[in-house]
Each structure stands twice: as C-alpha cells, then as structure tokens.
Amino acid sequence: MKIRTIIVDDEPLARNKLKLFLADEPDFEIVHECSNGRDAIALLEKQRADVLFLDIQMPEVDGFGVVEALPPERLPFVVFVTAHDAFALKAFEVHALDYLLKPFDRERLKQTLLHIRKALQHTAIERHQNQILSLLNDLKSHQKRPERILIRSEGRVYFVNVQEIDWVEAEGNYLRLHVGSESHLLRQTMNSLERQLSPSRFIRIHRSTIVNIEKVKELRPWFQGEYLAILHGGKKLNVGKSYRKNLTDAFANHP
C-alpha cells in the first residue's frame, strides 16, 4: 500500500530535496506539494493524506497555523520540518513528535520514514493527533501575547491596540478587526490570531467570530439553542452552539 504524502514548504529547494530523497522510497507516493500554509489548509480539507511534511517557518500562515486550522480527524501523521529553534525542538521531544532539523541528510530522513511506517502499521494516528493537540496547547501557554497588531493598508502602516478591539470577524482571506467606530483588515487566519490573543480576554464564539469579553454586556437566548452576545455599543453577534460554553464560562470567571 502506498503512503500518500504531502509536502508543505515555502522554499522550492527544500521541497525538491524531500522529493529527491523520497523518490528512492517506493512505498511513499507524493500526491501534492504546497508552497504556503493557506494552500495546505485548503488541500487538506478536501484531500486525504497519510503523512504531512510540514515546514514551520512560513509567512502569513505558519506550520502551527496549518495544524490549528484543521479538525483533528483531518490531521495525517505530521513530521515538522524546521530550522534551528531550541524551544520548538524541545517541545517536539517532550511530546514525542517527529521532526526534521534543516539541513537534514538522507540518513536522518530514513530514521523518520521508519518511524512513520511503524506508526501507520500500528494505527497509532489517533495517539499522534492527541500529541499534536497537546503540543499546540503547550505552545499557546508559552507564547508572548502581543499588545499591538500591525496593520498595512493602502500604503500606510499603523498599529491597533489589542485591548481596544471589540470583535473580530472572518472576511474571505482576511480578518476584520472592529475597534469602536472603525474597522481594519488583517491578512491572517482566525486560528492564527486566536493563538496570539489572551484567552482570558478574547473568546471564540463562532467559527468566524472572536469577541473581547470586556465588550460584552449581555448573553441572550436566541434561536434553536443559539445565543446572541450583545456588546455595549449595541452590536449583536451570533454565538454558535459548539462555542456557547466558551462564553458562558468566560462570564462565570470574569470579575
């Protein structure tokens, strides 16, 4: 049986190196390659893979952003590919996750391939997915929260203070940050921004919405088990069923 493989790396030379090495492994079949995180997310939402070689340092959507954007059941066996990052490497080792440190050679890759074959034979993918999610939770807890967000618009570059954001909504390939009477477009994914924001202040209330708990005045029952979050300025935001507990817990714990 062929091991369906996807390579995600923004460096063409790195992708070519992996393809060259894997060409000597008859049981590995490269079904696709991506040069950025956004394309990888779109591909993995539609196409099944057994193994994902995933670069971490990519612009806009990094490797962790790709993993976070996918539901656990869509995650294949992930091998992180990274330049030297002491904290990330230690995190991979603690969570028993496979990684390739650039520049790697053929022998180091062969060790990883043996690990992949063994894991797939023993159907250990669910345990691997749990290890991935545990890694992401650890990274979130160590990540420094930004106080300002950089916005680029029509040749201008300026900052938005994070605490002044009322709510965030997805808008195509962008996010729209609502700050008082103004709004700003940010080219980033919802999952990536959520990872940066403090979970004690910013709550995911819908697949496409994050709200600043400080700006919420009331939580009101709505239609078929859904709720409305009413902001102090009067804006009404839908709260999805699967996200309702996030907001009710935040209200309960908020001083």
For the stretch 57-66, pLDDT in tens is 887 678 888 8
CATH number of 3-142: 3.40.50.2300
- % of the chain surpassing 90 pLDDT: 31
Taking residue 160's Cβ as centre, other Cβ atoms within 10 Å add up to 16
Q: Residue 86 corresponds to which amino acid?
A: A
Predicted TM-score (pTM) of the model is 0.56
pLDDT of 123:
63
Sheet holding 28-34, edge to edge: 28-34, 3-8, 51-55, 77-82, 99-101
Confidence of residue 157 (pLDDT cuts 50, 70, 90): confident
Interval 139-158 mean pLDDT: 73
Cis upstream peptide for 103 (omega within 30°): yes
Distance in angstroms (rounded) separating the CA atoms of residues 5 and 166? 41
SS3 (DSSP) at 94: helix
Interval 109-127 mean pLDDT: 81
Superfamily of domain 148-253 in CATH is: LytTr DNA-binding domain (2.40.50.1020)
Interval 77-88 mean pLDDT: 76
pLDDT at 131 over 80: no
pLDDT of 95:
65
Dihedral angle, C-alpha 222, 224, 226, 231, nearest 10 °: -20
Cβ(104)–Cβ(79) below 8 Å? no
pLDDT of 76:
85
Write down the domain spans for the chain.
Answer: 3-142, 148-253
Distance in angstroms (rounded) separating the CA atoms of residues 212 and 247? 10
Distance in angstroms (rounded) separating the CA atoms of residues 123 and 120? 5
